[in-house]
Amino acid sequence: MITVDPNTGETKDFMTGFLGALGLSTSGRPADVQVAPDGALFVSDDGNGVMYRVTYQQP
């Protein structure tokens, strides 16, 4: 999953770890993203039948 800067078109990795070496294998398949009322993201992974809850903590 990536983010895209709407002003420059620059992309950055946002959520990684689903592709194996050289991109030849996968360990999941993110399929959809929903935003929770508290701002967290729910990412469904239909490759593993799970959902991830992604939150942000300031450093």
What's the pLDDT score for residue 58? 79
What's the pLDDT score for residue 42? 95
pLDDT > 70: percent of the chain: 100
- Quick: pLDDT tens for 6-31: 999 999 988 888 888 777 888 888 88
Other Cβ atoms less than 10 A from the Cβ of 3: the count is 11
Radius of gyration of the chain (CA): 13
What's the pLDDT score for residue 34? 95
Is the dihedral angle over the CA atoms 46, 2, 40, 52 positive or is it negative?
A: positive
